[in-house]
Amino acid sequence: MSTAIAEHSVNVEDRLSPWWVRALVIIFIVGGAVLVAMTVLGYKHAPPIPAKVVAADGSTLFTRADIEAGQGVFLRYGLMDNGSIWGHGAYLGIDYSAEALHQMGLDTANTLAGTQYGKSFSDLDKTQQAAVQGQTAQLLKTNRYDAAADTLTLTEPETEAWKHQLGYWKEYFKDSGNNGGLMPDWITDPKDLSHFTAFVTWAAWASVADRPGQNYSYTMNFPYDPTVGNVAPSDATLWSALSLVVFLLGLGVALLASGRFEYLGWISAGKIEPRVTPGVATDGQRALVKFFVIVAAVWLFQTLVGGVTAHFRIEPNGFYGIPLERWFPSNLMRTWHLQSAIMWIATSYVAAALFLGSTLRSKVPAALAIWAHLLFAAFLIVIVGSLLGEWAGMLQWFGNWWFWLGNQGWEYLELGRLWQYILVVGLLVWFGVLWWLARPREVASVEARPIVRMFMLAALSIPIFYIPALFYGPHTNFTVVDTWRFWIIHLWVEGFFEFFATTVVAIVFYQLGLTRATTALRVIYLDAILFFLGGLVGTGHHWYFNGHSSFNMAASALVSVLEVVPLTLLTLDAWGFIKTARGGDPHTPRAEIARKHKWTLFFLVSVGFWNFLGAGVFGFLINLPIVSYYETGTQLTPNHGHASLMGVFGMLAIALMVFVLRQTATDKDWPRLEKWIKVTFWGANIGLMMMVVFSLFPSGVRQIWDVMQNGYWHARSEAFIHTTPALVIEWLRFPGDMVFIVFGSIPLTIASVKAWLGVRRQGQAVRG
């Protein structure tokens, strides 16, 4: 009787409240509704593209078709992976909108100076310069767009400035040393140059002309350039201050809840038997190991092209004296760097999910091997085909088919539209295989079925929430495209991939016997609630200065700071993770399997560390509107990006890879793999930390200081990047890159090949 009472009390204690699900659903619906509202308002408030732009005498200068064609030129030549528009894009070259705006300001000031004083602006005394600068700002800030006639009128000084732009951009694209490593004479066609000039002139106008009824521009006065009247709007300061209040309140509530409910951690106390045995695998499970050869090889490729990309900031017209930009220009290298990162991480998640799904059944279906071979071939075709297509697209080999077969040109979504459709179909097929393999009713353990339901829901969200990447074309308004683009970059990656990753880790811990089913499920709910609480509406913090209104800034600033809260709470579990990874009591099965999966657990510890530092600290640093106003597009962005994408999603991808390799390797084979994985762990983490501490962070701080001192255009110029202090910091990136490549990605590639050869020998021994 006493035993029954004790078991009943444990069950009552472990029973989850229905409010976990209710809270998650409420937050998802409310947050999703606000996000959709901000997206709809993005369409409404996007800077207008006038049907025609005319001079003061009524003559047409350029048309909407010219602007849209110019955006196509910007994309077709891969310029978003060289420079940026409104701070969004790459950081090798200039911000095209900021440079166009500054040049318009200089030319307008020169015209006014010549008219009033008969001199150039630089020959005026300080009093005269201040007067002309004030007139220039007033002229450019005045919005002369007639919505009824759908016509934008430029004044005579603005028209003269526009005429000078064509020659300026023709010269800019000639020399690789002047533009961050583009191929020499990258754009020479007069028609393309004319269209491109129309596009960047429109982008510059939208960034300076006051939005109707407001005292700031369509881009909230971004970029910062006081010479044309662009200074930080008061909204940015107000919502930054109020968001700090929300952050402190949210953090206080979360810490209070963590102290009140001690069971909110990952690791469960007490005796729990492991549910998997390392070294025991079926043909289908062994067939999944070859995916990780792709993972390691593509990661190695990514690190190599990443090193080349970084070096273009030092030598844009030569790679240690080799004119590499003639065949592999900087924008191609950066495109490959981004796309290969997404591909190897996603491939690891896909393969690991199938492997985990197979461990949940009492018997692994023999057909898993066939599906593994088919999916492997599909992923290989998409990876290689899309990377080669991006190269051919930039070289203009596809003609009018560039958007479909080659390089779309949108940062992070460069792969051609056809490849995107194939990717979506492939992910849906992957989900179908995963559902066939581990649908809840097929799971051997009844208590694990609620976790598996969340796992399946998270897996389905991956293909579903990638679909917004198909919602635009090459000529869609830049603001609208940027809105959907960050549905992918932020919502898909930082939201639903986080959700999926949490469920995967929960299943790993459950199968290893480190956590109970109810504990794992509770953490899934908690993390999902916290991620979506700040992450859904928080998507809008990428839209502060790309054509959205002040409503977006207010809503996303107040809510997105809550994204840091769950990342801060990771520190509460850190010591428990480390103790578990060390093995604990050596006389228990749980400790034995923890030791066998030591490096899986250590990589998960590093995920928590980089989540806190990269996503939490560095993300919070650049998230406040007033900081983002000066920072967007500086080196503090890739500082956050490297620490977050590689530190969190990359380390998790490696953790899952190591888990599968350990599960499929025999105890005899494992020591030969473990030594390489140990080197990878320390090499990847130390190398990444060296990149951040020695180069990316100090480079970003110095650059944001220059923005505040001299204007955004100056801090993004080649002249600033090639000052001696900046070059010294750029060279300090080299040691971290070398440690990361030599002691990080190369050892893992060796381990993956050895593991694949090992499982092939196992399979031959079983069959033979």
* Closest CA relative to residue 384, chosen from 414, 419, 424, 411: 419
Cα-based distances in Å from 598 to 108, 578, 659, 665: 65, 10, 9, 14
Cα-based distances in Å from 298 to 339, 367, 574, 607: 10, 27, 30, 20
d(C-alpha 97, C-alpha 196), whole Å: 11
Residue 749, pLDDT > 70, answer: yes
pLDDT value of residue 280: 83
d(C-alpha 572, C-alpha 562), whole Å: 17
SS3 of 225, please? strand
* Closest CA relative to residue 287, chosen from 347, 361, 367, 349: 367
pLDDT value of residue 267: 63
Residue 266, pLDDT > 70, answer: no
Residue 247, pLDDT > 80, answer: yes
Cα-based distances in Å from 336 to 106, 411, 419, 604: 36, 11, 15, 27
pLDDT value of residue 592: 81
Cα-based distances in Å from 671 to 292, 316, 715: 18, 44, 50
Give the percent of the chain with pLDDT over 90. 78
The pairing of strands 52-54 and 60-63 is: antiparallel
Amino acid letter, 296: A
Give the chain's radius of gyration (CA, Å): 27
* Closest CA relative to residue 408, chosen from 400, 417, 399: 417
For 644-654, what is the mean pLDDT? 95
In 618-767, where does DSSP find H-type helix?
619-623, 625-631, 636-641, 651-664, 670-690, 697-710, 712-715, 718-721, 724-731, 733-740, 746-767
pLDDT value of residue 401: 94
Task: Measure CA of the first residue to CA of the last residue in the chain; give whole Å.
Answer: 55
Is residue 576 within 8 Å of residue 265, measured between CB atoms? Answer: yes
For 130-147, what is the mean pLDDT? 96
Specify the range with the lowest mean pLDDT, choosing from 50-59, 450-459, 474-483, 583-592: 583-592
Residue 268, pLDDT > 80, answer: no
Mean pLDDT of the chain: 91
Is residue 411 within 8 Å of residue 88, measured between CB atoms? Answer: yes
pLDDT value of residue 8: 36
pLDDT value of residue 567: 75
Residue 340, pLDDT > 90, answer: yes
Q: Is the dihedral of CA 604, 606, 607, 611 positive or negative?
A: positive
* Closest CA relative to residue 73, chosen from 403, 468, 397: 403
pLDDT value of residue 9: 35
pLDDT value of residue 768: 64
Give the percent of the chain with pLDDT over 70. 93
pLDDT value of residue 582: 67
The domains found in the chain, sorted by start residue, are 52-231 (no CATH), 236-767 (1.20.210.10)
For the chain, what percentages of helix, strand and coil (3-state, to nearest 5) are there? 75, 5, 25
pLDDT value of residue 264: 58
pLDDT value of residue 14: 57
d(C-alpha 93, C-alpha 167), whole Å: 18
> Which residue is listed with tokens 């409910």?
261
pLDDT value of residue 32: 95
For the record, the structure tokens of 723 come out as: 């000052």
**95 bridge partner residues:** 84
